[in-house]
Structure 1
């Protein structure tokens, strides 16, 4: 049974890559892209992010391997475990397309570098008819919303050691505190001047501070329509008390090399080679 499950998992991963290669090869052979230089990977405009979505899916606990690539030592517990994988698969099968994308490609926000209007409540303008008169709109589609900060790529290059990042994987949210965050910021948000000798498991967000209130406002807005309202987890870089959570955060940086898969750039190169080989074979 275990071998059958492992085989099914591998088949699912291979099917995603094969489907991607087939789509890009067909576009190369049957459109104007056929005249493009052979050394370029040509992506149709509506599908420019498809390779990124496929790679993010391969790194997702739903179908990624339980052991890092090339590792055969089974003394350490698998990650994900069977129950976590099952939960992820069921959740994705019962989610909207937007939720599946959010759970595949995490969003990263820099908490300390936000525009002044982030957190403001915005009311959409009323819909206008052709004669300029205001028309009623569907409340659910045009309700007030809280302005969120712009997202950054889920990459270590977008996470500064002197800043605090909010990372959302669609299930949980991680507040990743860099090693070199200023003492006054730590005091304002967590009530401590530094993390040396501090029991990080007992550190709490200071909800009375302006940054604390703004952060909670953002988190509440992001969780408003979710069926799974995950916890906000505090991760302090380099702290032994949150080392396991820090490893989870690193696995969410899907644009980079992870323990299970290559980086996005390397993945594109591998896909390009497969597309070239298929085009030559089917020509």
Structure 2
């Protein structure tokens, strides 16, 4: 909900020049959350027209056979910033980021989890120190894309990242496959397909979707 409130404030600035009036009311914020999830659902594998029949069937079977809380990441994945993880207590995860490429700082590392898979995305300008702490490489060019096994090293960023991944796995009661990638890797297209709020071949951006819905009222 905190993420939706932040998006609500951002939308107020973005759309204040137009004909859409952003209402400061809890129900208005809830409606924005519903619209965001509606857009995400239209871009999900289960409803996308470009997805193969077996992929759609697998996604729908998975989404309808688990609880609503566990199904949410299948529709709207969670994006976390790894390069500035705060110290976490025993039962919390850091705040999530909106699924927009605008939030992908070139100097950052991000964790995207979809309920079944998790992607660790390294920006093109990540510090060599952080790369070495997390993956024991000195340059982003040394990052080998693909599925990998996360190691825990004797430093705070590595310990916090492992704690995050383990907490997410416990929430889903599944192992959660991990994939490592950087800009320009083959997996990048799949990673960016989860940026629900961006305009793409899968559909309109979040702002465009809000404008469309507003015009139908």
TM-score by length of 1: 0.63
Counterpart position of 1:258? 200
1:269 aligned to 2:211? yes
Once the two structures are TM-superposed, the CA of residue 212 in structure 1 deviates from its matched residue by: 2.2
TM-superposed deviation, 1:111:
0.5
Q: Distance in 1 between matches of 2:61 and 2:34?
A: 22
Q: Residue 174 of structure 1 aligns to a residue in which SS?
A: strand
Deviations 1:12-62 (A, max 9, x none): xxxxxxxxxxxxxxxxxxxxxxxxxx8547784443311111000001011
Which ranges of structure 1 fall in alignment gaps of 5 or more residues?
Answer: 1-37, 67-79, 122-145, 276-283
RMSD, aligned CA: 2.3
SS in 1 for 2:48: coil
Residue 100 of structure 1: how far off its partner (Å): 2.5
Task: Report the equivalent of 1:109.
Answer: 80
The answer on whether the counterparts of 2:126 and 2:140 sit within 8 Å (CA) in structure 1 is no
Deviation at 1:204, TM superposition (A): 6.0
Matched with 1:90 is: 61
Gaps of 5+ in 2: 1-18
Kept after mapping to 1: 8 A contact 2:128/2:140: no
The answer to whether 1:49 aligns with 2:20 is: no
1:202 deviation in Å?
9.0
After TM superposition, list the pairs within 5 Å mapping 1:96-245 onto structure 2.
96-116=67-87, 118=88, 120-121=89-90, 146-196=91-141, 199-201=144-146, 205-210=150-155, 211-238=157-184, 242-243=185-186, 245=187
What CA distance in whole angstroms lies between the structure 2 residues aligned with 1:41 and 1:197? 46
| Deviation, structure 1 residue 237 | 1.5
CA distance in 2, matches of 1:212, 1:197: 18
Shift of 1:181: 0.5
Which structure would you say has the larger Rg?
1
Q: Following TM superposition, by how much is the alpha carbon of 1:86 offset from its aligned partner in structure 2, in angstroms? A: 1.0
1:5-20 matches, cutoff 5 A: none
Which of 40, 45, 58 does residue 61 from structure 1 map onto?
A: 45
- Residue by residue over 1:217-263, the C-alpha shift from the partner in whole angstroms, topping out at 9 and shown as x without a partner, is 1111112132543201111122xxx32x1111100010111221010
Deviations 1:70-127 (A, max 9, x none): xxxxxxxxxx3322211110011112121222221111111111222x2x31xxxxxx
CA 1:189–1:198: 2 relative to 1, 3 Å? closer
Task: Give the C-alpha shift of residue 209 in structure 1.
Answer: 3.5
Name the CA distance, whole Å, in 1 between partners of 2:97 and 2:213: 24
Q: Distance in 1 between matches of 2:57 and 2:153?
A: 39
Q: Give yes or no for contact 2:148–2:178 (8 Å, CA) kept in 1.
A: no
